[in-house]
Structure 1
Amino acid sequence: MGVDTQDWEQAQARIAQLEAELAQLQAQTKKFRSDAEKYYHLYQYSSDSIFIIEVSTGAIIDANPDAARRLGYPLEELIGLPLSQIEIQDDSWQAQSTSSWRSAISGTHVYECRYRAKDGSLIPVEVSSRLITIEGRDLIQNTVRNISRRKRLEERLRIFERAVEQSANTIVITDTRGNIEYVNPKFVHLTGYSREEAYGQNPRILKSGQTDPAVHRELWQSLVEGKEWVGEFINMKKNGELYWEQAVISPIRNATGIVTHYLAVKEDITARKMAEAERERLIEELDAFSHTVAHDLKNPLAVLMGFTEMLLDELSQLSQEEIYEMLLKLHQTEHKLNNIINELLLLARVRELAEVTIEPLDMPSIVAEALKRLQDLVESSSAQIVLQDEGTWQIAVGHASWVEEVWANYISNAIKYGGTPPQITIGSTPEEDGSIRFWVRDNGPGIASEDIPDLFQRFSRLEMIQAEGHGLGLSIVQRIVSRLKGKVSVQSAPGEGSIFSFTLPAYQ
């Protein structure tokens, strides 16, 4: 029986087609095997933990060796465990996990949580969760990455951020052009500029004009050379108040060593500078004080020694009248020494007393007490003293015994350095700032303008030939009035007399 040629050709074509399909199937099978082997190796040797979870039960049906190793389970023990036993069960994490599962059903979702190891330790992890389908089964694949190191770095960063934010020093970060990119709360508190006002500005907004320009040139030269700079500024707050800062300014470099920013850590040293200035002032004052005390004690002591030696050597040759005169001069000299010592003690008390009682003052009565102390001086000089409208004086507050010393100094100076006879007016004037000014006006020769600034600052003596005295008085006045939150001043000109005054807070 013969074969139909057409059927033969069709059979041959079918065979060729089947062979092609077989070759294609073999190629696909080879590729599938290759892919399966590749994915198997990725799965088995991944540095991330991989879990396959049954959606319907929440049980782990497969996991890679890394998952078992990191959690401390044998692989066969891990498989079959519910995921809820691995993933931490507190409310916040459970809510996030549940939400992530819902999201994973519609696509890949990434979230952070904690996985519990077999020994009970908690491991912070980042989970990439997605829905997969294998042989018609809906499964969840969780690819889990240990983020312990990242969390430690984040915690260190949070600690650093809190340290910077809570620092007692001002911290400023600028770009390389000097534009501010960050300031901490201390900067805001100290300068009065908000962060919004500071960002984008140059630190020149704090420039007071009182820092030597050479300081700024030296600063930028150091930074341009990539060096740290340490120095001091006199800066200005937003409200115009001046303050001192000690600054350490350093370049910040990136991983390649290129300077990208500058960091300034600055300390407010205003109080220290004021203390240093006060110390210098006190040292200067002490020098003047020592000179004055030595000078003023020397003369009375010389008189005492002279008369004492004379009495010892010539007592038998002196008449009763001569002895009386010498004893009288000795007594006067002792009185002068006693006054100097009392003033020194008063000055020490004013300096050292931490707290002092402040109360309303009956000023006319205090003036009367001061005049009573000076009665001998008033009578011997024939001084004419008038209290101007004392019944209308407003009430001030202060420390009565100290204020009496102020009046005694002012009035005794007005008598000693006044005209002949001294004509003195005592009065009071309210000030616009709420204080009360009390003053003593004399008819003396006046004081040259160039001598006025130093009167209260040093242990100055009013250089009048016809009067004696020591230089403690006005220094004591200045110290007392300053402690009582007032001010001292003097108005005078040669030939026009003088008005010495002091202010005290008014009684509210």
Structure 2
Amino acid sequence: MVASIQSFLQISSDALLVTDIQGKIQSVNDAFLQLMGDESAAQWEGQPLLEMIDSVDFLWDDFIRTSPSEKASLALKRVLLHVSAILDQENNMVLVKCEKNKEDIEVPEHLEKGIDRLVEMLDAREKKYEGNLTDIQRVLNNTFERIDRYKLISHNVTDVVCLHDPVTAQYLYVSPSLEESSGYAPEEYIGKTPYEFFHPDDLSKLAPDHRNKQKGEDPQGKMEYRMKVKDRPNENGYRWMEAVSRPIMDDQGNVVMLISSSRDIHDQKMAQVEKQTFFDYYKILANKIPNGAVFLLDKDSNYLIAEGEELKRIGRKPEDYVGKHTEEVFDERGKQEVQPYFYRVLKGERVRFEFQNFGNHYQVLGEPYINEEGEVQCGIILLQNITDSKLFEEKLKQTVYELNFQKSALDISAYVSISDRDGIITYVNDRLCQISGYRHDELVGQSHSLFNSHYHPNSYWDEMYSRLRTGEVWHGEMKNRDKNGDSFWADTYIVPFKNAKGEITQYVSIRFDVTQRKLMEEDLKAKNFELDSFVYHTSHDLRAPLTSILGLVNIILMEEDKENIMDYTRMIQSSILRLDDFIKSILTYSQNSNSERKYIFINFHDIIDANLQELRYLKNFDKVDITVNLENDIPFYCDPIRLNIIFKNIISNSIKYAHHDRDYNFLKIKVKQTAEFAQILFEDNGQGINEEYQGRIFDMFYRANEASDGSGLGLYIVKQTMDRLGGIIRFQSVYNRGTTFTLEIPNKPPDVEPDYE
């Protein structure tokens, strides 16, 4: 033996032995004898180490080539010796360090018998490898043949199969499928414990299971846990697994090893999480809808969720529905009137209906939730109590009736977006894209300031952000701007979502379209202003002639001169005629505003002639030369009442405001008919309209001529009438030279339904 090796043996405190290349022991040191409980080294010399440790599943050539860092994976538990390192190798001599395998480990009492028996069978000092060696090997071989079979099977399944030390739970063997599930190579697990790879929140499941298997108990069920994964950022460092483990026993019932099998259930768990998120989303919606409730039904017509303010109001709880079939919930009347609609939803139909129950009137909207494969996943039912207000019914028609489910429950009736804690958009539904004119990719990654119409003051935004930062739900009406710069109004809820630490992680914005209502409100304000103006001017223009008449009557009562009385009477007549003219204008305005449109065949010659006959007694009528030119004989259909209003007002204006100091005044009327419209031209050489007044001639009660004693309603009525007919009116005027009005009125044959308002 090499002197340096012999010297090292004598001075080392580690248990060492030296073998030749075939594995026969050449020498042992005192520390080894002390470890084994022997006094003489002679009995060890020449002994075959390989026979002592049983060469099953162990090749000497592989052993001597294995690096020190890998020796732990070759733990020779069959002899309770652990080869931890090869210290030197030269001259075909192998220097081996040995130690007790279970040294310094607290062994549970229920494992003592199994370990003691192995020690007893393998104690070379007592057994001398005689007599019972065959029985010892038979017992061990039976145990390890079972283990080998586990290994062989594990190479052909997708589950991760592992063998564990029963005391420490260290991995002794891991099947190749580990790498596919976790990204770790099997050798990275060897010598480590499951405690190093379980998610911290799942460790509480592992310890009790380990203790039960140490006692030899059979598995009581499957354990779900999160396993650490490697180089997979999309899975947040862990992947869900489902495991079952059991003890491996020797022929006397002692636990010698543990085996576990883990199945990948990550996709299944993620689907469950997504489903729960889907449910939570609807619960939020349900509890934000005034006097409403939301139900989700599975494909078998069982209730999945039942939430909402209306349930509380009628004394119902979610548990009265959830998990039950509609057959269990409905009474006989409900089964006849309501349940058939639910079945239609689950078949893929969109439904809308109303019913009465609990003394209330309800409106119900049903929408199937359909996946990308076109399969109905569940039915979504939105219920609303509309007893107290039909206004909500109108809102429901405008915003909820046009349901369009995709992936989110809120797509039923709302424009939905989700943004991160910094306000950057991460999701938008199709309805928001439709109303805003933006594509999905144009919105995701942008801020909601993209919709800012700059209508609201800074205080509006300050109040909103202040509430959201404290985690409160914000609600308000917001004027938005679409891609084209047009405005749309939304009744908006913004809901902050928090994580387990109470930190806001994202915001969900739910918008209901109220554009039509806001436009109606603005139109109503304009009409109220117009009405106030109308009342003011009407009262003024009615009182002025009456006051004049009353004054003249008082003068007449005191007057004795008949000539003066006649003058005063003529003045009274003038005031009465002016008052009559004003009242006629008001009646004409009312007639245009309230009468229904009736479209019949129009003879323009008759229309013009009738108006000229009616106006022939108008002052200065005979001083205006009126000519009429009618082109084409194409049938034209229109509302004759409104057409007469237009002709009468424009012709009378031309006569009233003719230049009476001129020798010649004219009015030319030209009508050209086509299949689409009639173009009507009124051209005169009257007083004309001053340029500074031209922008207001169609306003109510506006008089462009200061000398006029008219009502100020004539051209206003003409414009309103043209709007009712869907026509266009334009004019050109030069002061003191005359005015030309050009009208285009649609031709509406009887089979064409008028659609102008």
- Kept in 2: contact 1:170–1:267 (CA 8 A): yes
Residue by residue over 1:214-252, the C-alpha shift from the partner in whole angstroms, topping out at 9 and shown as x without a partner, is 589748964895576666655443455433345444543
1:79 maps to none
Supply the AA of the counterpart residue of 1:243. F
Residue 618 (structure 2) aligned to one of 377, 390, 394: 377
2:645 is the counterpart of 1:419: no
- Name the SS of the counterpart of 2:652 in structure 1: helix
Residue by residue over 1:128-157, the C-alpha shift from the partner in whole angstroms, topping out at 9 and shown as x without a partner, is 89999999xxxxx999x9x9x989946724
Relative to structure 1, is the Cα distance of residues 406 and 260 closer, same or farther in structure 2, using a 3 angstrom cutoff?
same
- Kept in 1: contact 2:598–2:639 (CA 8 A): yes
Supply the AA of the counterpart residue of 2:699. Q
What does 1:175-186 correspond to in 2, within 5 Å? Answer: 175-186=420-431
Q: Which has the higher helix share?
A: 1
1:468 maps to 709
How large is the Cα RMSD of the aligned pairs? 5.2
- Name the SS of the counterpart of 1:419 in structure 2: coil
1:156 maps to 279
Point out where structure 2 has 5 or more consecutive residues left out of the alignment.
1-46, 48-123, 144-164, 170-209, 224-240, 251-260, 284-406, 750-757
**Structure 2: how far apart are the matches of 1:379 and 1:496?**
18
What does 1:58-73 correspond to in 2, within 5 Å? Answer: none
2:531 is the counterpart of 1:286: yes
2:699 maps to 457
Supply the AA of the counterpart residue of 1:503. E
What does 1:332-371 correspond to in 2, within 5 Å? Answer: 332-353=574-595, 355-371=596-612
- Kept in 1: contact 2:620–2:656 (CA 8 A): no
- Name the SS of the counterpart of 2:701 in structure 1: coil
Relative to structure 1, is the Cα distance of residues 43 and 490 closer, same or farther in structure 2, using a 3 angstrom cutoff?
farther
**Structure 2: how far apart are the matches of 1:358 and 1:258?**
66
**Structure 2: how far apart are the matches of 1:230 and 1:451?**
46
1:38 maps to 212
- Kept in 2: contact 1:417–1:464 (CA 8 A): no
- Kept in 1: contact 2:621–2:655 (CA 8 A): no
- Name the SS of the counterpart of 1:384 in structure 2: strand
What does 1:189-228 correspond to in 2, within 5 Å? Answer: 189-206=434-451, 211=455, 214=458, 218=462, 222=466, 225=469
Relative to structure 1, is the Cα distance of residues 231 and 430 closer, same or farther in structure 2, using a 3 angstrom cutoff?
farther
Supply the AA of the counterpart residue of 1:419. H
Relative to structure 1, is the Cα distance of residues 38 and 297 closer, same or farther in structure 2, using a 3 angstrom cutoff?
closer
Relative to structure 1, is the Cα distance of residues 276 and 437 closer, same or farther in structure 2, using a 3 angstrom cutoff?
farther
2:546 maps to 301
1:17 maps to 129
Q: CA deviation at 1:500?
A: 3.1
Identity %: 24
Relative to structure 1, is the Cα distance of residues 409 and 178 closer, same or farther in structure 2, using a 3 angstrom cutoff?
same
State the aligned residue count. 411
- Name the SS of the counterpart of 2:687 in structure 1: coil
2:723 maps to 482
Relative to structure 1, is the Cα distance of residues 497 and 344 closer, same or farther in structure 2, using a 3 angstrom cutoff?
same
Q: CA deviation at 1:374?
A: 0.9
Residue by residue over 1:391-413, the C-alpha shift from the partner in whole angstroms, topping out at 9 and shown as x without a partner, is 33866553211121111111111
1:503 maps to 744
1:274 maps to 519
**Structure 2: how far apart are the matches of 1:19 and 1:449?**
132
- Name the SS of the counterpart of 2:668 in structure 1: strand
- Name the SS of the counterpart of 1:263 in structure 2: strand
1:442 maps to 684
Residue by residue over 1:355-407, the C-alpha shift from the partner in whole angstroms, topping out at 9 and shown as x without a partner, is 422345333432222222211116545111122x3133866553211121111
Q: TM-score, normalised by structure 1?
A: 0.63
Q: TM-score, normalised by structure 2?
A: 0.45
Q: CA deviation at 1:297?
A: 1.4
**Structure 2: how far apart are the matches of 1:299 and 1:395?**
46
Q: CA deviation at 1:487?
A: 3.2
Relative to structure 1, is the Cα distance of residues 162 and 182 closer, same or farther in structure 2, using a 3 angstrom cutoff?
closer
**Structure 2: how far apart are the matches of 1:133 and 1:356?**
95
Relative to structure 1, is the Cα distance of residues 37 and 192 closer, same or farther in structure 2, using a 3 angstrom cutoff?
closer
Relative to structure 1, is the Cα distance of residues 195 and 422 closer, same or farther in structure 2, using a 3 angstrom cutoff?
same
**Structure 1: how far apart are the matches of 2:589 and 2:509?**
44
Relative to structure 1, is the Cα distance of residues 468 and 477 closer, same or farther in structure 2, using a 3 angstrom cutoff?
same
**Structure 1: how far apart are the matches of 2:579 and 2:631?**
37
- Kept in 2: contact 1:422–1:444 (CA 8 A): yes
